[in-house]
Structure formats: C-alpha cells, structure tokens
Amino acid sequence: MSPLNPLFCIIVYLIAFLTVYLILLKYKPWSDSTRYVSIDGLRGFSAFAIFIHHATLWQKYSSTGVWEIPNSNFYTQIGQSSVGLFFMITSFLFVSQLIKSRDDDFNWKTFAISRVYRIFPLYYIVLIFGFIILFTVSSWTLNVPLDKLFWQIKDWILFTIIGSPDINEVKNTVILGFGVAWTLAYEWLFYFSLPIISFFILKKRTKPWILLISIAFVAFFFIKRGHLPSDSYGFYFIAGGIAPFINKYSKIQHNINKHILSCIVLICMALLLREQFAQNLYSISLNTLIFTIIATGNNVFGVLKQPFLRLLGEISYSTYLLHGFALFITFNFIINAQTAKTLSPTQYCLIIFLLTPVLVILSFLSYRFIEQPFIGLGKKVIKRKTESSKIIN
C-alpha cells in the first residue's frame, strides 16, 4: 500500500477512532451542552487530517531528503484545507463572542487572560521539548555565537511572529516538529485584530488605547513580514466570520433540509479534490460554504456530533503541536534515518498505523494533564479578577 492511497487515510482515521473509543470508556471530557458540537467534531477531523498530510510528506522526506507537498490533490487538500478550517473556527468563535456582547462591554482583560492560559503553557512546554531534540541532533555543540543563538530562539518563543530561523545551524529546523508554529503567529494576528473588528460590531466603543495596541501590532506584523498572511490564508479568517451573523440575524439555515445541506458539504469536499492547493479563490469558496453550513448547525448526517470526533476535537491542540515531533522521533531515533530510507511504502504505512494510537494517547494525556489544568487556572484567575473588580466598584 502507498501512503498516497486514500485507503491509507481511512485506516489511520479508523485506528484513531478506535483508540478514542477505548479512552471514552473511562473518560468523558465535556459537560457543557451549550458548546458548538459540530465545530468540536470538525476540529477533531481537521487536526488528524493535518497529521496524515504531514505523514505523507515524511514518507518522501525520509527516503529522498526532499520536503515538499505530496503528489496528490487529496493529501495536499486535507492538510491545507484543514489549516484553513482551523482559522475559520477561530474567527467564528470570537466573532460570535463579539456579536453576543454587542449590547454590552466586551471584557478584553478576560479575553487576553483566557488566550494566554490556553495557548502559552502547552506551546512553551512543547517548545522546550523541541529544543532538547534539536540540541540532541546537534550533539549538544554550540555551532553559532551565544548571542545569535539567543535571537534565533527568541523568534520561536514569540510564536514565529517575527520569523522562524534555523536554530544552531540545524538546517530545516521546522522539520524537527516546529513547523506548525507559523499558524499560531496568524492566530495572534487575529486576536490582536479583534479590537479593530469590534469597532464595527460593538455598540459600546472599545477604549482607544486597546485600539492603538491592536493597530500597532497589525502594522508591525505586516511591516515585518512584508506580505499578506501566507498569500491567501488570511481570507479564511474573513470567511469564518460569516456564520456568526447568519446564526444571529438569519433563520435561513432552518428553512433548508438538513440532509440537502449535508449532501452539499459532501459535494463541496469532492470538488476540492480537483484543486491542488487550498489558497486559491475556488478552494476558499468551497471551504467557506462547507464551514458555514456546519457552523450554522449542520452535523453532516450526524457524523460530526459523534463522541470520538468530539474527543479528537478536545485534544486537537495537543495533536497539532505534538504530531510533528512524533514523526521526527519515529523516523530519526526509533527508526534511524538510514533505515527509514530503505522502507517500502507498505512498511512505512504500517509504522504510521502503529504511531497513530500512540499520538492519540499522548495528545489525550497532554490535554488532560497540561491543557486542562491551565485552562482551569485561567478561569480561576478571571473569576478572582472579576470579583475584585466588583468589590472596587
């Protein structure tokens, strides 16, 4: 079997679902009935699609040393479109919060605290782990002046907002597992853009100093990078902001048969396979239609509300940050690089099949013992600050 065979993708998903099913026998991670169930399912589906996409890249890289997109529209799209869907989910959730707070005062302090406790802890823990791997690869030898090493590491600590340089002369540092960090830079761009967006949504105007910080960050981001977000990925944030307005101000989604909408989603997914990239207008339009249908309440014949996909959605941030390191360690330490070059396509597939449940379990443990405690701590900090603010007032 070739890793570019669609059957490879199906088997990986089935193994992931079975692993999650076994976890669910002992653990139920959610209790909030007001959450967007279909969005949770979509997040879980997309996170593992990115792992599968990178697994196909690794097959070519381990055998030839060339890192490039797979020669398959299917495997290119499931990776690139999934990144776009993540951006749309971010936009949808926070634009929805702005619309919900339209008549009230949006609490920017609470928003900032929640983002810090949600994103920082796991990212920095994984980053430290990545640095250990990187210096192990470079035999714990300092290959650059200490001040240069500091500035290289600094860029990664800042979520690659400024750049993503190779560290300590280790070529293609991103391949070690750091590669997904670029998307977090654009997540922060969106977060800092929210006060500007809020100017057009909230009735009560955002404080000028918050707007100034927002404008300054956005300007710095584009001046430093000198181009629009990853060519066209920035449009996915715009696209994700459509569904919240439909949910709030229109009932059109309730007037169309849900089975018809589910069929439209499947047709759009099939049409995406005709395109090699997800950054062109055609792919963006199809993904926007898919996402808008799902975000307005459709669960695609009930698939997206299944518990196994919802749990994959819960642990998706861990999966997203850990999967690159899992692939690198597997093909460079567990199976050394020379042996990896000699693997047949079938042998490679079998290794990914074995890696899949390991990744699911690691992601679950990361969520359970790193993400959840810090999310809970963030909520306590917010509650404490809210209560102290009430006392002062």
Is the distance from CB of 355 to CB of 326 less than 8 angstroms?
A: yes
What is the dihedral sign for C-alpha 150, 327, 159, 283? positive
Give the total residue count for the chain: 393
- CA 340 – CA 112 distance, rounded (Å): 44
- CA 155 – CA 178 distance, rounded (Å): 12
Please state the pTM of the whole predicted model.
Answer: 0.94
Q: At what angle do helices 208-225 and 181-198 cross, to 10 degrees?
A: 140
DSSP state of 207: P
The secondary structure of 77-143 as a DSSP string is HHHHHHHHHHHHHHHHHHHHHHHHTTTS---HHHHHHHHHHHHHHHHHHHHHHHHHHHHHHTTT---
Return phi, psi of residue 297, to 5°. 120, -5
End-to-end CA distance of the chain: 67
pLDDT at 36: 84
Return phi, psi of residue 294, to 5°. -70, -45
Residue 377 C-alpha from the chain's centroid: 22
What is the dihedral sign for C-alpha 95, 100, 101, 103? positive
Positions of the chain with pLDDT under 70: 29-35, 226-231, 253-254, 389-393
- Domain ranges, ordered by start, for the chain: 6-23+35-392
3-state secondary structure 219-281: HHHHHHHCCCCCCCCHHHHHHHCHHHHHHHHCCHHHHCCHHHHHHHHHHHHHHHCCCCCCCCH
Burial classification of residue 302, based on how many CB atoms lie within 10 Å of its CB (0-12 exposed, 13-18 middle, 19 or more buried): exposed
- CA 126 – CA 70 distance, rounded (Å): 27
